Amino acid sequence: MYGNADIDPNLKIHSIVADEDPIKLAAFEARIAAADKIEPRDWMPKEYRRQLIRMIEQHAHSEIIGALPEGTWITRAPGFRRKLALMAKVQDEVGHAQLLYSAAETLGKTREAMINDLISGKSKYSNIFNYPAPTWADSAVIAWLVDAGAIINQTTNAKGSYGPYVRALERICYEESFHLKYGHDNVVHLATGTAVQRISVQKAINRWWPPLMHFFGPPDSISEHSVILMRWKVKMASNEDMRQQFMDMYVPKIWDLGLTLPDPKLSKNKETGLWEYTEPDWAEFKRVINGDGPCNKERLAVRKMAEEKGRWVRHALLRKDAEYVTPLA
Ligand code: BYC
């Protein structure tokens, strides 16, 4: 626990790098300070490698699991143009997972091991994808606001220190900016539509606001990994900074559409420039990220089924099992 307020973070960091070669560690930290990119074959502390694998792997899992709530709306999208756009978006999200798994593989963990850890429940993925998307308006709100949150996180961390991760993030952000426009267009359409459409998008915003507040991670005072991740420039801003940035950019846009947010305390303090809000329910957050959210079991069951049904394709491609290989004429 790096974020434990009772423990001096410097002492804690000292203890986790205690068995590293001090000369190599100093050279590594000098490179980080000089904003150099660290590449896979460069020397790095064991904890830097471990933290990167954990975070990039969770990010990759979030992309493939994140494709599921919106993916269920492809067959029911209102109109052919929206169906095509949603199909392209979902395909992009799965592509992002491929980029991120490749970045994590450069650190020495195999894709097979990562997928196994996802399916067994050992690895985490974003809290937000464990909630249902019962209406078309939910898919619109995901595409606008969840993608907006992701862009804030990813454009910030794209200036970070690990080469393969930051290059993947840069490419992902280009695609996410299209998703954001697509989601915004859908929300505006509903918010300026019939009374039924307005009610439906308002209800969706009410459903997604609490998990969106959780999306940026726990408060800085209890964030376990922030101190070390920010010291080594993997995370370029704290969880609360990103949450504040998100509220700064999107609360006014939501209000401008005549929609409300389900938090009576939400307001910007003119003196501090910070948003004040009701403390999110962190006990719920903990339950959800540890497997006990409304859709965790369903999400993992779909991934497990995809893994099992796709096994013969992977085997055939890798020619692992002669039985699957069609002899060439
Ligand atoms: N959900 O010390 P902390 C997308 C965990 S997909 C679940 O602050 P850290 C999209 C954290 O892992 C893009 N778990 O952690 C796709 C840690 O647990 P462990 C999603 C969370 O790493 C399809 C513990 O809480 N974006 O946009 O310093 C369709 C302590 O937290 C969460 C990313 O994945 C959470 N929200 O900071 C549409 C961004 N928050 O590992 C859209 C990449 C915290 O010790 N990740 N935890 O067991 C990050 O930037 C960072 O990992 C976080 C958390 C800011 C999320």
Quick one: which H or E segment has residue 153?
helix 147-157
Per DSSP, what are the bridge partners of residue 268?
275
Our answer on whether the CB atom of 56 is closer than 6 Å to any ligand 1 atom is no
Our answer on whether the CB atom of 62 is closer than 6 Å to any ligand 1 atom is yes
Our answer on whether the CB atom of 238 is closer than 6 Å to any ligand 1 atom is no
Closest CA to 318 of 115, 112, 97, 53: 112
DSSP one-letter string for 23-62: HHHHHHHHHHHTTPPB-TTS---HHHHHHHHHHHHHHHHH
- What is the predicted pLDDT for the residue at 10? 65
Closest CA to 287 of 124, 167, 70: 124
* Torsion angle (degrees, nearest 10) of CA 39, 40, 46, 49: 90
Task: From the CA of 3, give the closest atom in ligand 1.
Answer: 2
Specify whether the CB–CB gap between 57 and 74 falls below 8 A. no
Task: From the CA of 56, give the closest atom in ligand 1.
Answer: 43
Which CATH number applies to 9-324? 1.20.1260.10
- What is the predicted pLDDT for the residue at 317? 87
> What is the rounded CA–CA span in Å between residue 95 and residue 286?
28
- Successive 10-residue mean pLDDT values, the chain, 329 residues: 50 83 97 98 98 98 98 97 97 98 98 97 97 98 98 98 98 96 98 98 98 97 94 98 98 98 98 98 98 97 96 85 54
Q: Pick the residue whose CA is nearest to atom 43 on ligand 1.
A: 59
Q: Pick the residue whose CA is nearest to atom 54 on ligand 1.
A: 217
pTM: 0.94
- What is the predicted pLDDT for the residue at 246? 98
Instruction: Out of 90, 123, 284, 289, give the residue to mutate to test ligand 1, the one with the largest number of ligand atoms within 8 Å of its CB.
Output: 289
Neighbours of 104 (CB within 10 A): 27
Q: How many residues does the chain have?
A: 329
Ligand 1 centroid, distance to 146 Cα (angstroms): 13
Task: From the CA of 225, give the closest atom in ligand 1.
Answer: 2
Our answer on whether the CB atom of 218 is closer than 6 Å to any ligand 1 atom is yes
Ligand 1 centroid, distance to 328 Cα (angstroms): 46
Specify whether the CB–CB gap between 64 and 303 falls below 8 A. yes
C-alpha count within 13 angstroms, C-beta hemisphere, residue 286: 6
Task: From the CA of 142, give the closest atom in ligand 1.
Answer: 38
Our answer on whether the CB atom of 226 is closer than 6 Å to any ligand 1 atom is yes
